[in-house]
Amino acid sequence: PFSASDRHDITHLWEKMAPNVEFLGEEAMERLFKSHPKTKTYFSHLNVEHGSAAVRAQGAKVLNAIGHASKNLDHLDEALSNLSDKHAHDLRVDPGNFHLLCHNILVVLAIHFPEDFTPRAHAAFDKFLAAVSETLYSKYR
Ligand code: HEM
C-alpha cells in the first residue's frame, strides 16, 4: 500500500521523467548492460551498442510502462497484465534481473533530478519499482 506522500513523490518524479523517456530510458538500459553484462543476453536480437536506436526505443518503452503504472497504483495487476504475461511466458526473464534494472532507473533519477530525488522520494520510487517488478514476475508459477 502506498501512503499519500509515496503517491505524491511517485507522481512528481514521473512528471519530471515523462518529457525525456527516450534519453533517460536509454541511459538506464545502458547502465544496466554495462554494470550487469549478462542482462544483454535477453536482448541478443537487438543492437545493444552505445547510441543504438534499439536501446533508446527499449528504454522509452520501459519508462512509459512505468508511467502507466504510476497512474494505476491501486491496481497494478490489471494495469500490467499483458506486460506480465509477456515477461513471464514469452521472454522468460529471470526474476533476479528486475532489481538490477530498478536500481539503474533510480541512479538515473538521482543524477538528473537531484533536487527532487530526496531520501523520501527515493524510498517511495524504490517501493513503487519493486511493486511493478513483483507484478511483472508474479505469473512465473
Ligand atoms: C520488453 C517493460 C524489466 C527484458 C518490454 C516492453 C516493455 C517492458 C514495456 C515492450 C513490450 C512490448 O513490446 O509488448 C519492462 C518493465 C520492467 C522490465 C517496466 C521492470 C521495471 C525487464 C528486465 C528484462 C527485460 C529486467 C531483462 C533483463 C525485456 C525484453 C523485451 C522486453 C528482452 C523484448 C525486447 C524486444 O524484443 O523488443 N519490457 N521490462 N525486461 N523486456 Fe522488459
Assess whether pLDDT exceeds 70 at residue 95: yes
Closest residue CA from atom 14 of ligand 1? 83
**Is residue 140 a contact partner of residue 84, using CB atoms and an 8 Å limit?**
no
Q: Is 83 in the pocket of ligand 1 (CB under 6 A)?
A: yes
- At residue 118, the pLDDT reads 98
Q: How many CB atoms lie within 10 A of CB 70?
A: 22
Assess whether pLDDT exceeds 90 at residue 12: yes
Assess whether pLDDT exceeds 70 at residue 46: yes
Assess whether pLDDT exceeds 70 at residue 141: no
User: How far apart, in Å, are the Cα atoms of 124 and each of 22, 34, 36, 63, 121?
Assistant: 23, 26, 24, 16, 5
Give the mean pLDDT of 30-59. Answer: 96
Residue among 32, 58, 126 whose CB has most ligand 1 atoms within 8 A, to mutate:
58
pLDDT band for position 89 (50/70/90)? confident
At 71 the three-state DSSP class reads: coil
Distance between Cα 123 and ligand 1 center (Å): 23
Assess whether pLDDT exceeds 80 at residue 80: yes
Q: Which three cell numbers stand for residue 27?
A: 541511459
**Proportion of the chain in helix, strand, coil states, percent, rounded to 5:** 80, 0, 20
Q: Is 29 in the pocket of ligand 1 (CB under 6 A)?
A: no
- At residue 138, the pLDDT reads 84
pLDDT band for position 56 (50/70/90)? very high
CA–CA distance, 130 with 103 (Å, rounded to integer): 10
At 47 the three-state DSSP class reads: coil
Q: Is 32 in the pocket of ligand 1 (CB under 6 A)?
A: no
Computed over every residue of the chain, the mean pLDDT equals: 96
- At residue 139, the pLDDT reads 80
Residue owning grid cell 548492460? 33
**Is residue 135 a contact partner of residue 13, using CB atoms and an 8 Å limit?**
no
Percent of the residues in the chain that have a pLDDT greater than 90, as a whole number: 94
Which atom of ligand 1 lies nearest, measured to the CA of 129? 21
Q: Which three cell numbers stand for residue 4?
A: 499519500
